[in-house]
């Protein structure tokens, strides 16, 4: 907070002389605070949009006292974290009540005009101009803090709405997926049994061996569909979490060892950063699946001669971080918002379930996943609580 205040003070040029003038102005202007507050709320009441937030005389009286305190602390300071927090609450409050941010400009202009009118009656000529400039600097800083937190809280609310919307979409997709998988699995199992019978008869009899080729192809496709159904069900009905204390580094090391042959076949270097054991309460098989999916995605993204790096950090602030980085071309801007959506894939043979399952499994742990991507590569940062 203090860093931002310092930056704002430097930017508008509010210095020690201005602070002195503001403190000297306070006892002269304080008798006018109630009248300024009346002028302010008269303007509020005259506007249909702003007057709608007022619930009655008792609320207006409370708000008047708050405004008088705001004017007083604004002139007197000190300009510290408490000053900053009080101003930021005003911006957040505008978001909470759904009032558009342009009303902060118009409200500030009412106070600014009232200050200038009062200063014109208290000071002569050049002195009034100097004091008014100090007031303008202060009110600009106040407005900047309010607007900053209005924007931050608005963005947080928008992200929360998007998150809830995504949760609702995923819940609906899980219901649909579970039903679809159930409907498909029964006839698929029946087809597999019939193919197994046909395959045994063909192998026992003196039939043309070429007849086995279509049977083997059909069996291969049924196995592929079965794996696809398993992915669907893993997303739609994730198994219960069985968490206990595990070394996250050991889990990551096991994944890297398993994926080394795939990395070598693609001409990609796969490494795990050296680290002492990092203990966290997790479901080891599910976290293994998360890391394995991310590593395989990295190996597919990295070019020949490229590199995929796995690192484990923590615990810090009750969180363990697992980072998987590749030096591929990055994720396209139009693809990035959809990477955790079920059935979304940019791969010709992809099911679109891998990252959706990853996101689901991390959520079961109470963790989070972040992605940083650009033309030089992509890093997925998985955070899970160190203690369940």
pLDDT (tens digit per residue) in 163-206: 666 666 666 666 666 666 666 777 877 887 887 787 777 777 66
Distances (CA, A) of 41 to 28, 60, 165, 168, 261: 22, 8, 38, 42, 73
Phi-psi sector, 125: left (phi>0), alpha (psi -120 to 50), beta: left
* 121 alpha-carbon distance from chain centroid: 51
Q: How far apart are CA 5 and CA 83, in angstroms?
A: 10
Q: What is the pLDDT of residue 310?
A: 95
Q: What is the pLDDT of residue 168?
A: 67
Quickly count: other Cβ atoms within 10 Å of residue 327's Cβ.
19
pLDDT (tens digit per residue) in 318-362: 889 999 999 999 998 888 888 887 766 776 655 667 788 888 888
Q: What is the pLDDT of residue 36?
A: 86
Q: Which of 80-108 are b and which e, b meaning 16 or more Cβ less than 10 Å from the residue's Cβ?
A: eeebbebbbebbeebbeeebeeeebeebb
CA nearest neighbour of 297 among 234, 254, 340, 250: 340
- Range list of β-strands (E), 261-376: 269-272, 279-282, 307-316, 319-326, 368-374
Distances (CA, A) of 364 to 4, 244, 267, 357: 37, 14, 34, 10
Q: How far apart are CA 327 and CA 234, in angstroms?
A: 30
Phi, psi angle pair for 188, to nearest 5°: -65, -45
Instruction: Identify the segments of the chain with pLDDT beneath 70.
Output: 1-2, 50, 54, 90-104, 149-183, 205-209, 211, 232-239, 343-344, 347-352, 388
* 9 alpha-carbon distance from chain centroid: 30
Q: How far apart are CA 51 and CA 37, in angstroms?
A: 15
User: What does the block give as tokens for 267?
Assistant: 């001409």
Biggest alpha carbon–alpha carbon distance for the chain: 117
Q: What is the pLDDT of residue 111?
A: 84
Distances (CA, A) of 212 to 122, 222, 226, 266: 103, 15, 21, 33
Q: What is the pLDDT of residue 238?
A: 64
């Amino acid at each position: 907070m203090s860093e931002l205040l310092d930056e704002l003070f430097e930017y508008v040029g509010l210095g020690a002389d201005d602070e002195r003038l503001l403190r000297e102005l306070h006892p002269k202007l304080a008798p006018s605070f109630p009248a300024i507050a009346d002028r302010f709320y008269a303007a509020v009441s005259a506007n249909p949009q702003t007057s709608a937030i007022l619930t009655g005389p008792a609320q207006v009286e409370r708000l008047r006292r708050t405004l008088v305190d705001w004017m007083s602390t604004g002139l007197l300071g000190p300009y510290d974290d408490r000053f900053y927090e009080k101003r930021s609450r005003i911006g957040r409050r505008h978001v909470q009540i759904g009032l558009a941010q342009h009303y902060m400009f118009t409200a500030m202009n009412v106070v600014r005009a009232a200050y200038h009118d009062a200063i014109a009656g208290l000071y002569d000529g050049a002195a009034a101009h100097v004091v008014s400039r100090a007031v303008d600097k202060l009110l600009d800083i106040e407005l900047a803090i309010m607007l900053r937190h209005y924007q931050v809280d608005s963005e947080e609310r928008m992200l929360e709405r998007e998150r809830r919307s995504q949760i609702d979409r995923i819940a609906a997709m899980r219901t649909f997926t579970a039903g679809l998988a159930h409907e498909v699995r029964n006839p698929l199992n029946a087809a597999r049994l019939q193919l197994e019978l046909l395959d045994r008869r063909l192998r026992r009899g003196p039939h043309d061996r070429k007849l086995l080729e279509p049977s083997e192809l059909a069996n291969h496709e049924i196995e592929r569909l079965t794996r696809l159904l398993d992915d669907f069900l893993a997303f739609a009905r994730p198994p219960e979490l069985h968490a206990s204390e595990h070394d996250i580094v050991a889990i990551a090391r096991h994944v890297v060892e398993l994926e080394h042959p795939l990395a070598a076949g693609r001409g990609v270097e796969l490494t795990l950063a050296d680290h002492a054991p990092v203990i966290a309460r997790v479901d080891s098989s599910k976290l293994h699946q998360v890391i394995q999916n991310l590593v395989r995605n990295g190996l597919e993204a990295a070019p020949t001669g490229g590199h995929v790096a796995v690192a484990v950090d923590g615990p810090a602030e009750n969180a363990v971080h697992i980072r998987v980085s590749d030096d591929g071309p990055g994720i396209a801007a139009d693809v990035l918002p959809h990477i955790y959506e079920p059935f979304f894939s940019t791969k010709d043979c992809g099911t679109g379930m891998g990252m959706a399952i990853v996101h689901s499994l991390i959520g079961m742990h109470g963790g989070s996943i972040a992605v940083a991507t650009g033309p030089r590569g992509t890093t997925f940062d998985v955070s899970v609580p160190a203690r369940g």
